[in-house]
Protein backbone atom coordinates (compact mmCIF):
# COMPACT_ATOMS: atom_id res chain seq x y z
CA UNK A 1 0.00 0.00 0.00
CA UNK A 2 1.29 3.45 -0.96
CA UNK A 3 0.38 5.50 2.13
CA UNK A 4 1.47 8.76 0.51
CA UNK A 5 -0.90 8.12 -2.42
CA UNK A 6 -3.71 7.31 -0.01
CA UNK A 7 -3.01 10.40 2.08
CA UNK A 8 -2.92 12.52 -1.06
CA UNK A 9 -6.43 11.25 -1.89
CA UNK A 10 -7.51 12.00 1.68
CA UNK A 11 -6.24 15.57 1.38
CA UNK A 12 -7.85 15.97 -2.04
CA UNK A 13 -11.16 15.11 -0.36
CA UNK A 14 -10.52 17.75 2.32
CA UNK A 15 -10.42 15.00 4.91
CA UNK A 16 -13.99 13.88 4.27
CA UNK A 17 -14.41 10.13 4.66
CA UNK A 18 -17.43 7.86 4.31
CA UNK A 19 -17.96 4.19 5.10
CA UNK A 20 -21.65 4.23 4.16
CA UNK A 21 -22.98 5.10 0.70
CA UNK A 22 -26.13 6.51 2.34
CA UNK A 23 -24.13 9.36 3.87
CA UNK A 24 -22.42 10.47 0.66
CA UNK A 25 -22.83 14.10 -0.37
CA UNK A 26 -20.11 14.14 -3.02
CA UNK A 27 -16.34 14.39 -3.04
CA UNK A 28 -15.60 11.91 -0.23
CA UNK A 29 -13.00 9.19 0.18
CA UNK A 30 -15.09 6.01 0.52
CA UNK A 31 -13.73 3.03 2.45
CA UNK A 32 -15.28 -0.31 1.54
CA UNK A 33 -15.16 -1.93 4.96
CA UNK A 34 -16.25 -5.50 5.63
CA UNK A 35 -18.18 -6.95 8.56
CA UNK A 36 -19.88 -10.17 9.55
CA UNK A 37 -23.05 -9.25 7.69
CA UNK A 38 -21.91 -6.79 5.03
CA UNK A 39 -19.20 -6.21 2.45
CA UNK A 40 -18.60 -2.62 1.46
CA UNK A 41 -16.66 -3.74 -1.61
CA UNK A 42 -20.00 -4.62 -3.22
CA UNK A 43 -21.01 -0.95 -2.96
CA UNK A 44 -17.78 0.67 -4.10
CA UNK A 45 -18.94 1.39 -7.66
CA UNK A 46 -22.25 2.68 -6.32
CA UNK A 47 -20.26 5.00 -4.06
CA UNK A 48 -18.45 6.44 -7.07
CA UNK A 49 -21.76 6.79 -8.89
CA UNK A 50 -23.13 8.66 -5.87
CA UNK A 51 -20.30 11.19 -6.04
CA UNK A 52 -17.44 9.76 -4.00
CA UNK A 53 -14.11 11.01 -5.36
CA UNK A 54 -12.28 7.80 -4.49
CA UNK A 55 -13.17 4.31 -3.29
CA UNK A 56 -10.71 2.26 -1.25
CA UNK A 57 -11.40 -1.40 -1.99
CA UNK A 58 -9.75 -4.75 -1.42
CA UNK A 59 -7.60 -5.87 -4.33
CA UNK A 60 -9.53 -9.15 -4.69
CA UNK A 61 -12.87 -7.36 -5.19
CA UNK A 62 -14.70 -7.00 -8.49
CA UNK A 63 -14.44 -3.21 -8.19
CA UNK A 64 -10.66 -3.47 -8.63
CA UNK A 65 -11.00 -4.97 -12.09
CA UNK A 66 -13.71 -2.54 -13.18
CA UNK A 67 -11.25 -0.06 -14.62
CA UNK A 68 -13.11 2.81 -12.96
CA UNK A 69 -11.18 5.95 -12.22
CA UNK A 70 -10.94 6.66 -8.50
CA UNK A 71 -10.50 3.05 -7.37
CA UNK A 72 -7.67 2.58 -4.83
CA UNK A 73 -6.88 -1.10 -4.24
CA UNK A 74 -5.41 -2.31 -0.94
CA UNK A 75 -4.97 -5.70 0.71
CA UNK A 76 -7.26 -4.92 3.67
CA UNK A 77 -9.50 -1.86 3.83
CA UNK A 78 -9.68 -1.71 7.64
CA UNK A 79 -5.91 -1.90 7.94
CA UNK A 80 -5.64 0.79 5.26
CA UNK A 81 -7.98 2.99 7.29
CA UNK A 82 -5.84 2.40 10.39
CA UNK A 83 -2.64 3.17 8.48
CA UNK A 84 -4.12 6.37 7.07
CA UNK A 85 -5.23 7.48 10.54
CA UNK A 86 -1.80 6.77 12.01
CA UNK A 87 -0.13 8.74 9.20
CA UNK A 88 -2.44 11.70 9.88
CA UNK A 89 -1.89 11.42 13.63
CA UNK A 90 1.89 11.62 13.18
CA UNK A 91 1.58 14.64 10.90
CA UNK A 92 -0.60 16.34 13.52
CA UNK A 93 1.83 15.40 16.27
CA UNK A 94 4.77 16.82 14.34
CA UNK A 95 2.85 20.09 14.14
CA UNK A 96 2.24 20.24 17.88
CA UNK A 97 -1.01 18.39 18.58
CA UNK A 98 -1.02 16.63 21.97
CA UNK A 99 -3.06 13.43 22.11
CA UNK A 100 -4.82 12.30 25.29
CA UNK A 101 -6.06 8.70 25.23
CA UNK A 102 -9.01 7.92 27.48
CA UNK A 103 -10.67 4.64 28.39
CA UNK A 104 -12.45 2.99 31.32
CA UNK A 105 -15.41 0.82 32.20
CA UNK A 106 -17.72 3.66 33.22
CA UNK A 107 -17.79 7.40 32.74
CA UNK A 108 -15.40 7.69 29.81
CA UNK A 109 -17.79 9.58 27.52
CA UNK A 110 -18.91 12.00 30.25
CA UNK A 111 -15.28 12.52 31.30
CA UNK A 112 -14.25 13.10 27.69
CA UNK A 113 -16.95 15.75 27.23
CA UNK A 114 -16.00 17.48 30.49
CA UNK A 115 -12.32 17.49 29.50
CA UNK A 116 -13.24 18.89 26.08
CA UNK A 117 -15.27 21.65 27.72
CA UNK A 118 -12.53 22.59 30.17
CA UNK A 119 -9.69 22.61 27.64
CA UNK A 120 -11.77 24.52 25.06
CA UNK A 121 -11.67 27.57 27.33
CA UNK A 122 -8.02 28.01 26.36
CA UNK A 123 -7.15 25.75 23.44
CA UNK A 124 -8.33 24.54 20.06
CA UNK A 125 -9.61 21.08 21.02
CA UNK A 126 -10.90 18.07 19.10
CA UNK A 127 -12.52 15.05 20.71
CA UNK A 128 -14.32 11.84 19.86
CA UNK A 129 -17.87 12.38 18.66
CA UNK A 130 -20.68 10.16 19.89
CA UNK A 131 -19.53 6.59 20.46
CA UNK A 132 -16.82 6.51 17.76
CA UNK A 133 -14.48 4.65 20.10
CA UNK A 134 -13.93 1.26 18.45
CA UNK A 135 -11.70 -0.24 15.75
CA UNK A 136 -13.41 1.84 13.07
CA UNK A 137 -14.47 4.82 15.18
CA UNK A 138 -11.02 5.69 16.53
CA UNK A 139 -9.38 5.93 13.07
CA UNK A 140 -12.34 8.01 11.85
CA UNK A 141 -12.01 10.25 14.92
CA UNK A 142 -8.32 10.84 14.24
CA UNK A 143 -8.93 11.52 10.56
CA UNK A 144 -11.56 14.13 11.51
CA UNK A 145 -9.03 16.18 13.51
CA UNK A 146 -8.04 19.31 11.59
CA UNK A 147 -4.55 20.74 11.45
CA UNK A 148 -4.12 23.48 14.01
CA UNK A 149 -5.72 21.41 16.76
CA UNK A 150 -3.71 21.86 19.94
CA UNK A 151 -5.14 19.01 22.02
CA UNK A 152 -7.05 15.93 20.87
CA UNK A 153 -9.01 13.78 23.33
CA UNK A 154 -9.55 10.29 21.93
CA UNK A 155 -11.97 7.93 23.67
CA UNK A 156 -11.27 4.21 23.34
CA UNK A 157 -13.71 1.42 24.10
CA UNK A 158 -13.02 -2.27 24.52
CA UNK A 159 -14.95 -5.52 24.81
CA UNK A 160 -12.24 -8.11 24.08
CA UNK A 161 -8.60 -8.68 25.04
CA UNK A 162 -6.22 -6.67 22.90
CA UNK A 163 -8.79 -4.05 21.87
CA UNK A 164 -7.03 -1.14 23.60
CA UNK A 165 -3.63 -2.23 22.27
CA UNK A 166 -4.95 -2.01 18.71
CA UNK A 167 -6.43 1.42 19.36
CA UNK A 168 -3.39 2.97 21.03
CA UNK A 169 -1.28 1.77 18.10
CA UNK A 170 -3.37 4.08 15.92
CA UNK A 171 -3.88 6.91 18.40
CA UNK A 172 -0.34 6.89 19.87
CA UNK A 173 -1.45 8.92 22.90
CA UNK A 174 1.02 11.25 24.61
CA UNK A 175 -0.97 11.10 27.85
CA UNK A 176 -3.51 8.65 29.23
CA UNK A 177 -6.47 8.42 31.59
CA UNK A 178 -8.44 5.37 32.71
CA UNK A 179 -11.61 6.42 34.52
CA UNK A 180 -12.05 3.10 36.36
CA UNK A 181 -12.20 -0.65 35.79
CA UNK A 182 -15.29 -2.70 36.55
CA UNK A 183 -17.36 -5.70 35.59
CA UNK A 184 -18.46 -5.11 32.02
CA UNK A 185 -18.26 -7.17 28.79
CA UNK A 186 -17.25 -10.17 30.88
CA UNK A 187 -18.46 -12.43 28.07
CA UNK A 188 -15.70 -10.99 25.88
CA UNK A 189 -13.01 -10.39 28.50
CA UNK A 190 -13.55 -13.69 30.30
CA UNK A 191 -13.05 -12.22 33.76
CA UNK A 192 -12.47 -9.02 35.71
CA UNK A 193 -8.73 -9.70 35.43
CA UNK A 194 -9.25 -9.65 31.66
CA UNK A 195 -10.86 -6.23 31.96
CA UNK A 196 -7.90 -4.86 33.92
CA UNK A 197 -5.33 -6.34 31.57
CA UNK A 198 -7.03 -4.88 28.50
CA UNK A 199 -7.67 -1.42 29.95
CA UNK A 200 -4.09 -1.52 31.26
CA UNK A 201 -2.83 -1.68 27.69
CA UNK A 202 -3.18 2.12 27.71
CA UNK A 203 -0.81 2.28 30.70
CA UNK A 204 1.53 -0.14 28.89
CA UNK A 205 1.79 2.21 25.92
CA UNK A 206 2.36 5.31 28.05
CA UNK A 207 4.87 3.55 30.34
CA UNK A 208 6.97 2.35 27.40
CA UNK A 209 7.38 5.99 26.34
CA UNK A 210 7.80 7.57 29.76
CA UNK A 211 4.55 9.50 29.39
CA UNK A 212 2.05 10.93 31.83
CA UNK A 213 -1.15 9.42 33.17
CA UNK A 214 -3.93 11.06 35.15
CA UNK A 215 -4.59 8.67 38.02
CA UNK A 216 -7.61 8.59 40.35
CA UNK A 217 -5.83 7.61 43.56
CA UNK A 218 -9.15 6.59 45.14
CA UNK A 219 -9.50 3.75 42.61
CA UNK A 220 -7.43 1.00 44.23
CA UNK A 221 -7.41 -1.17 41.11
CA UNK A 222 -5.98 1.65 39.01
CA UNK A 223 -3.37 2.47 41.66
CA UNK A 224 -2.26 -1.17 41.64
CA UNK A 225 -2.22 -1.30 37.84
CA UNK A 226 -0.05 1.85 37.69
CA UNK A 227 2.33 0.47 40.32
CA UNK A 228 2.90 -2.64 38.21
CA UNK A 229 4.30 -0.55 35.36
CA UNK A 230 7.55 1.39 35.62
CA UNK A 231 8.09 4.49 33.52
CA UNK A 232 4.79 6.22 34.25
CA UNK A 233 4.74 9.85 35.29
CA UNK A 234 1.66 10.10 37.51
CA UNK A 235 -0.61 13.13 37.80
CA UNK A 236 -2.85 12.24 40.77
CA UNK A 237 -6.42 13.32 41.39
CA UNK A 238 -9.44 12.03 43.31
CA UNK A 239 -11.70 13.10 46.18
CA UNK A 240 -9.18 12.23 48.90
CA UNK A 241 -6.23 13.75 47.03
CA UNK A 242 -8.06 16.94 46.09
CA UNK A 243 -9.90 17.28 49.40
CA UNK A 244 -13.17 17.35 47.48
CA UNK A 245 -16.55 16.87 49.13
CA UNK A 246 -19.80 16.08 47.35
CA UNK A 247 -22.53 18.36 48.64
CA UNK A 248 -25.94 16.81 49.46
CA UNK A 249 -28.49 16.75 46.64
CA UNK A 250 -32.07 17.73 47.35
CA UNK A 251 -35.12 19.10 45.55
CA UNK A 252 -33.63 22.59 45.47
CA UNK A 253 -30.20 21.35 44.31
CA UNK A 254 -30.75 18.10 42.39
CA UNK A 255 -27.49 18.20 40.45
CA UNK A 256 -24.01 17.20 41.54
CA UNK A 257 -22.09 19.92 43.38
CA UNK A 258 -18.53 19.56 44.67
CA UNK A 259 -16.79 21.68 47.31
CA UNK A 260 -13.16 22.01 46.30
CA UNK A 261 -11.23 24.31 48.59
CA UNK A 262 -12.94 27.68 48.40
CA UNK A 263 -14.66 26.75 45.14
CA UNK A 264 -18.09 25.20 44.64
CA UNK A 265 -18.08 23.26 41.38
CA UNK A 266 -21.62 23.15 40.00
CA UNK A 267 -22.76 20.72 37.32
CA UNK A 268 -25.82 19.67 35.37
CA UNK A 269 -25.04 16.00 36.05
CA UNK A 270 -27.05 13.69 38.28
CA UNK A 271 -25.24 11.37 40.66
CA UNK A 272 -22.36 11.55 43.12
CA UNK A 273 -20.58 8.92 41.01
CA UNK A 274 -19.86 11.67 38.50
CA UNK A 275 -17.60 13.46 41.00
CA UNK A 276 -14.57 11.47 39.82
CA UNK A 277 -15.33 12.44 36.21
CA UNK A 278 -15.45 16.12 37.16
CA UNK A 279 -12.20 15.88 39.14
CA UNK A 280 -10.54 14.15 36.17
CA UNK A 281 -11.47 17.08 33.93
CA UNK A 282 -10.19 19.55 36.51
CA UNK A 283 -6.93 17.60 36.77
CA UNK A 284 -6.44 17.70 32.99
CA UNK A 285 -7.29 21.39 33.02
CA UNK A 286 -4.74 22.06 35.74
CA UNK A 287 -2.04 20.18 33.79
CA UNK A 288 -2.60 22.57 30.90
CA UNK A 289 -2.80 25.65 33.16
CA UNK A 290 -6.52 26.31 32.70
CA UNK A 291 -7.57 28.63 35.57
CA UNK A 292 -9.90 26.80 37.94
CA UNK A 293 -12.50 29.55 37.65
CA UNK A 294 -12.63 29.02 33.87
CA UNK A 295 -12.71 25.24 34.30
CA UNK A 296 -15.55 25.46 36.85
CA UNK A 297 -17.57 27.68 34.53
CA UNK A 298 -17.10 25.25 31.63
CA UNK A 299 -18.19 22.31 33.78
CA UNK A 300 -21.25 24.19 35.01
CA UNK A 301 -22.26 24.91 31.42
CA UNK A 302 -21.89 21.32 30.20
CA UNK A 303 -25.32 19.79 29.75
CA UNK A 304 -25.53 16.03 29.05
CA UNK A 305 -27.79 15.15 26.16
CA UNK A 306 -26.84 11.55 25.55
CA UNK A 307 -28.99 9.55 28.01
CA UNK A 308 -26.08 9.63 30.48
CA UNK A 309 -26.76 11.08 33.94
CA UNK A 310 -29.51 13.32 32.55
CA UNK A 311 -32.32 14.80 34.57
CA UNK A 312 -35.53 15.05 32.57
CA UNK A 313 -38.58 16.73 34.03
CA UNK A 314 -41.84 15.64 32.42
CA UNK A 315 -45.40 16.78 33.11
CA UNK A 316 -45.81 14.04 35.72
CA UNK A 317 -42.37 12.93 36.95
CA UNK A 318 -38.71 13.75 37.42
CA UNK A 319 -36.51 11.26 35.58
CA UNK A 320 -32.91 10.31 36.15
CA UNK A 321 -32.19 9.03 32.65
CA UNK A 322 -29.05 6.90 32.49
CA UNK A 323 -30.17 4.50 29.80
CA UNK A 324 -27.24 4.57 27.40
CA UNK A 325 -25.57 1.55 28.94
CA UNK A 326 -25.25 -0.52 32.10
CA UNK A 327 -22.99 -3.01 33.82
CA UNK A 328 -22.82 -4.22 37.44
CA UNK A 329 -20.44 -1.44 38.49
CA UNK A 330 -22.38 1.44 36.96
CA UNK A 331 -25.74 -0.04 37.99
CA UNK A 332 -24.62 -0.34 41.62
CA UNK A 333 -23.33 3.24 41.61
CA UNK A 334 -26.59 4.51 40.12
CA UNK A 335 -28.64 2.67 42.75
CA UNK A 336 -26.45 3.91 45.61
CA UNK A 337 -26.98 7.44 44.38
CA UNK A 338 -30.71 6.87 43.90
CA UNK A 339 -31.01 5.59 47.46
CA UNK A 340 -29.65 8.93 48.69
CA UNK A 341 -32.06 11.03 46.63
CA UNK A 342 -34.73 12.72 48.72
CA UNK A 343 -38.12 12.18 47.12
CA UNK A 344 -41.64 11.50 48.35
CA UNK A 345 -42.08 8.76 45.77
CA UNK A 346 -39.44 6.73 43.92
CA UNK A 347 -39.42 4.15 41.15
CA UNK A 348 -36.45 2.29 39.65
CA UNK A 349 -36.95 0.97 36.11
CA UNK A 350 -34.03 -1.35 35.45
CA UNK A 351 -33.19 -3.20 32.23
CA UNK A 352 -30.92 -6.20 31.75
CA UNK A 353 -27.14 -5.85 31.79
CA UNK A 354 -25.75 -7.50 28.67
CA UNK A 355 -22.55 -9.46 27.92
CA UNK A 356 -21.91 -10.81 31.41
CA UNK A 357 -21.50 -14.43 30.38
CA UNK A 358 -21.43 -17.00 33.17
CA UNK A 359 -21.61 -14.24 35.81
CA UNK A 360 -24.93 -12.90 34.52
CA UNK A 361 -27.30 -14.59 36.98
CA UNK A 362 -25.17 -13.77 40.00
CA UNK A 363 -24.72 -10.13 38.98
CA UNK A 364 -28.42 -9.63 38.18
CA UNK A 365 -29.37 -11.18 41.53
CA UNK A 366 -27.00 -8.81 43.31
CA UNK A 367 -28.39 -5.73 41.55
CA UNK A 368 -32.00 -6.83 42.07
CA UNK A 369 -31.36 -7.22 45.80
CA UNK A 370 -29.73 -3.80 45.99
CA UNK A 371 -32.68 -2.18 44.18
CA UNK A 372 -35.30 -3.95 46.27
CA UNK A 373 -33.54 -2.84 49.47
CA UNK A 374 -34.06 0.86 48.71
CA UNK A 375 -36.75 2.09 51.13
CA UNK A 376 -40.09 3.16 49.66
CA UNK A 377 -38.95 2.50 46.09
CA UNK A 378 -41.03 0.72 43.49
CA UNK A 379 -38.79 -1.56 41.42
CA UNK A 380 -39.69 -2.65 37.89
CA UNK A 381 -37.36 -4.97 36.01
CA UNK A 382 -37.06 -5.48 32.25
CA UNK A 383 -35.51 -8.41 30.38
CA UNK A 384 -35.05 -12.15 30.72
CA UNK A 385 -31.90 -11.89 32.86
CA UNK A 386 -33.66 -9.94 35.59
CA UNK A 387 -36.63 -12.31 35.29
CA UNK A 388 -34.28 -15.25 35.97
CA UNK A 389 -32.76 -13.37 38.90
CA UNK A 390 -36.13 -12.68 40.53
CA UNK A 391 -37.07 -16.34 40.14
CA UNK A 392 -33.75 -17.40 41.62
CA UNK A 393 -34.28 -15.08 44.58
CA UNK A 394 -37.86 -16.26 45.04
CA UNK A 395 -39.14 -12.71 44.69
CA UNK A 396 -42.50 -11.82 43.15
CA UNK A 397 -41.27 -8.58 41.59
CA UNK A 398 -42.70 -6.55 38.73
CA UNK A 399 -41.05 -7.83 35.57
CA UNK A 400 -41.54 -7.26 31.84
CA UNK A 401 -39.90 -9.03 28.88
CA UNK A 402 -38.89 -5.84 27.08
CA UNK A 403 -39.10 -2.05 27.22
CA UNK A 404 -41.98 -1.91 24.73
CA UNK A 405 -44.19 -4.04 26.98
CA UNK A 406 -43.30 -1.90 29.99
CA UNK A 407 -44.13 1.22 28.01
CA UNK A 408 -47.57 -0.20 27.13
CA UNK A 409 -48.18 -1.06 30.77
CA UNK A 410 -47.19 2.42 31.96
CA UNK A 411 -49.52 4.01 29.41
CA UNK A 412 -52.42 2.11 30.98
CA UNK A 413 -51.20 2.42 34.59
CA UNK A 414 -49.12 5.60 34.69
CA UNK A 415 -46.61 6.60 37.35
CA UNK A 416 -47.12 10.15 38.59
CA UNK A 417 -45.44 12.45 41.09
CA UNK A 418 -42.33 10.29 41.36
CA UNK A 419 -38.59 10.51 40.91
CA UNK A 420 -37.77 7.71 38.48
CA UNK A 421 -34.43 6.09 37.70
CA UNK A 422 -34.29 4.63 34.17
CA UNK A 423 -31.22 2.48 33.47
CA UNK A 424 -30.26 -0.55 31.39
CA UNK A 425 -27.89 -1.81 28.72
CA UNK A 426 -28.01 -0.31 25.23
CA UNK A 427 -29.69 -3.39 23.76
CA UNK A 428 -32.66 -3.08 26.14
CA UNK A 429 -33.41 0.49 24.95
CA UNK A 430 -34.91 1.65 28.22
CA UNK A 431 -35.35 5.15 26.80
CA UNK A 432 -38.44 3.77 25.03
CA UNK A 433 -40.38 4.01 28.29
CA UNK A 434 -39.71 7.76 28.69
CA UNK A 435 -42.77 8.93 26.65
CA UNK A 436 -44.98 6.96 29.04
CA UNK A 437 -43.53 8.73 32.08
Domains of the chain: 3-74 (3.40.1390.10), 81-301 (3.40.1190.10), 310-436 (3.90.190.20)
| Residues 339 and 367 sit within 8 Å (Cβ to Cβ) | no
Q: What's the pLDDT at 306?
A: 65
Q: What's the pLDDT at 248?
A: 85
- pTM comes to 0.86
Rounded Cα–Cα distance for residues 331 and 350 (Å)? 9
Closest CA to 15 of 145, 129, 138: 145
Rounded Cα–Cα distance for residues 404 and 381 (Å)? 13
Q: What's the pLDDT at 293?
A: 96
Q: How confident is the model at residue 120 (pLDDT cuts 50, 70, 90)?
A: very high
Mean pLDDT, the chain, integer: 93
Burial 201-214 (b: 16+ CB within 10 A, else e): bbbbbbbeeebbbb
β-bridge mates for residue 127, sequence order: 153
pLDDT in tens, 391-436: 999 998 899 999 999 999 999 999 999 999 999 998 999 999 999 9
* Lowest-pLDDT choice from 59-73, 79-93, 217-231, 354-368: 59-73
Mean pLDDT of 106-127: 96
Amino acid sequence: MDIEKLYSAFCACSGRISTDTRTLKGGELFFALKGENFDGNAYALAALDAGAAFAVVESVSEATSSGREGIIAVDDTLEALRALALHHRRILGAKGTTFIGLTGTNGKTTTKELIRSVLATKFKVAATSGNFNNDVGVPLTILSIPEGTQIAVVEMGASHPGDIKRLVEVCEPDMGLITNVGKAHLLGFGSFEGVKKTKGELYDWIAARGGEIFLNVDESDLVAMAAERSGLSILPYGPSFDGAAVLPADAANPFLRIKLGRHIIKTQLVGAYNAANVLAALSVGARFAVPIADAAKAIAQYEPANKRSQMVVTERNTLILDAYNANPTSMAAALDNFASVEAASKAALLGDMRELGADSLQEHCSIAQKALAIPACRCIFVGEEFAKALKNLGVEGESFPDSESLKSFLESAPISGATVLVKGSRGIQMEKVVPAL
